[in-house]
Amino acid sequence: MSASRSSSPHTPPPLTASDLPNSGGVLTIDLDAIAANWRKLAKTAVAAECGAIIKADAYGCGLTPVAAALAQAGCKTFFVADLAEAAIVRATLPQATIYALDGYRPDSGQFYADLNCKPVIGDINELAEWDAFCSRARWIGGTAIHIDTGMNRLGLPRADAMALIPRIKIGYHGVTLLMSHLASSEQAANPANARQLALFRDFSREFLNVPASLANSSAIFLGPSFHFDIVRPGAALYGVNPTPDRANPMQPVVNLKARIIQTRVAERGESVGYGGTWTAHRTTRLAIIAAGYADGYFRSASSGDGIRGADVIVAGQRCPVAGRISMDLMTIDITDVPLQAARRGDMVTLLGDGITVDELAHHFGTTGYEVLTSLGHRYSRIYKSDAAMAETG
């Protein structure tokens, strides 16, 4: 006889995570801002179609709600990393055009066909396997061809790409998109951009009547010559600055708040945190925050004696991190905040309210891409839009 939980009114049902008080963080994603950013990018590349890169769980922002918001804004073509992401998008957007950037996986043709997902192929052997599947299954859903123009990552080398030109010219070839990727598009003056553009332009002329795509977020701002038929913004959709040498033209998307779980006082001369790397130079009020590097707030944003780390917004004021960030916790100096404005249980802002993704990236020693995709799964998530608001635990 198997054991089961009694349904007696005296026995409560099992608790789930959503039933418990959240002592950690709340991540708010503004879907309207994502849609507005897409519209701005589409207007900037007015002669081209504007797609969207939504790989890596839409840069950590949530694949399903982001895909739906972008589709409502008018986006029709989506780029994901792999089949798993394609399946999620297809369930949400039955009519969307979906490309899988990581290419064709061996013996997986039927999955691409079932999902109506087009692989982005950048290897001649990969293409041969795809062609064999299409011939056997009589599948005509199409594929993208990725040509390497100088990044030396994915993409057909020049000789293999040249060998495809006769195929393009003799009739049905199954290629629905020609694409490449710029290595230094965020550096507007980098001569590599012009070299890659010239090479890609030569190939696009040979791939007659095949739509072409070169521009990522930053390349959209390099001018119309980079736009071709489809642009592929990614990070800019989520608020990362695509023009690092200028003011950010994109709206902020993500706001991250975490909870104060304790306040305390450190006397002058006392140290804080692992290693005792930060020393109080006055009687100092401290707040302990329920977030750390396990939540995507990098240890490299720590502070030490003579080293300023990241800031946190408390009651409208910037307060510096004090000492090392640990796995689940960080400590901040709240001495200059009014006493009643920072108490146990209050929320503080780690990202947003003037602290940008790019500012955090600077303190983390990385890029805004990594900041977004590292956002922890322990946060409660709120999706904001004028149409609706949804929350997940």
Give the bridge partners for 169, in sequence order: none
pLDDT number for residue 169:
87
Q: Return d(Cα 85, Cα 285) in angstroms, integer.
A: 46
Q: Is the pLDDT of residue 16 over 60?
A: no
Q: Are 247 and 333 in contact (CB under 8 A)?
A: no
Q: Does residue 3 lie in a domain region?
A: no
Question: Does 199 have pLDDT greater than 60?
Answer: yes
Question: Lowest mean pLDDT: which of 15-19, 75-79, 163-167?
Answer: 15-19
Is the pLDDT at 161 greater than 60? The verdict is yes
Specify whether the CB–CB gap between 379 and 27 falls below 8 A.
yes
Same domain, 77 and 224: yes
Burial class (CB in 10 A: 0-12, 13-18, 19+), 106: exposed
Lowest mean pLDDT among 49-63, 73-87, 163-177, 347-361: 163-177
The tens digit of pLDDT for each residue in 17-75 reads 555 566 578 999 999 999 999 999 999 999 999 999 999 999 999 999 999 999 999 99
Given 55, 59, 104, 293, which residue is catalytic? 55
Are both 230 and 200 inside the same structural domain?
yes
- DSSP code for 146: E
Q: Are 55 and 101 in contact (CB under 8 A)?
A: yes
Our CA dihedral for 332, 336, 337, 340, rounded to 10 degrees, sits at: 110
Q: What is the pLDDT of residue 378?
A: 87
Q: Are residues 299 and 364 in the same domain?
A: yes
Contact 302, 277 (CB under 8 A): yes
Contact criterion met (CB below 8 Å) for 70 and 92: no
Nearest C-alpha neighbor of 288 from the set 24, 76, 21: 24
pLDDT (tens digit per residue) in 94-133: 999 999 999 999 999 999 999 999 999 999 999 999 999 9
Q: Strands of 284-366 (E only): list them.
A: 284-289, 311-314, 317-320, 330-333, 347-351
Residue 380's domain spans which residues? 254-392
274 given a catalytic annotation: yes
* Residue 35, domain member (yes or no): no
User: In this structure, are residues 371 and 357 in contact, taking their beta carbons and an 8 Å threshold?
Assistant: yes
pTM of the model: 0.91
Q: Is 210 found in the same domain as 88?
A: yes
Q: Describe the crossing of helices 83-92 and 63-73 by its angle, rounded to 10 degrees.
A: 50
Sign of CA dihedral 353, 356, 362, 368: positive
**Token reading at 311:** 């800031």
Instruction: Tell me whether residue 203 is in a domain.
Output: yes
- Amino acid letter for position 261: I
Band (376; pLDDT cuts 50, 70, 90): confident
Name the residue with higher pLDDT: 9 or 286: 286
Domains contained in the chain, number: 2
CATH of the domain at 147: 3.20.20.10
Per-residue pLDDT tens for 232-265?
A: 999 999 999 999 999 999 999 999 999 999 999 9
Return the structure tokens found at 368: 């805004």
Q: What's the rounded mean pLDDT across residues 334-354? A: 95
User: Across the chain, what does the average pLDDT equal?
Assistant: 92
* pLDDT reported for residue 390: 45
CB atoms within 10 A of CB 72: 12
Do residues 279 and 199 both lie within one domain?
no
Residue 165 has pLDDT above 70, yes or no: yes
Of 188, 211, 238, which closes a domain? 238
Q: Is 284 found in the same domain as 178? A: no
Of 238, 266, 296, which residue sits at a domain end?
238
Tell me: do 213 and 333 sit in the same domain. Answer: no
List pLDDT tens digits, range 91-105. 999 999 999 999 999
Q: Do 260 and 296 belong to one domain? A: yes
Same-domain check for residues 298 and 204: no
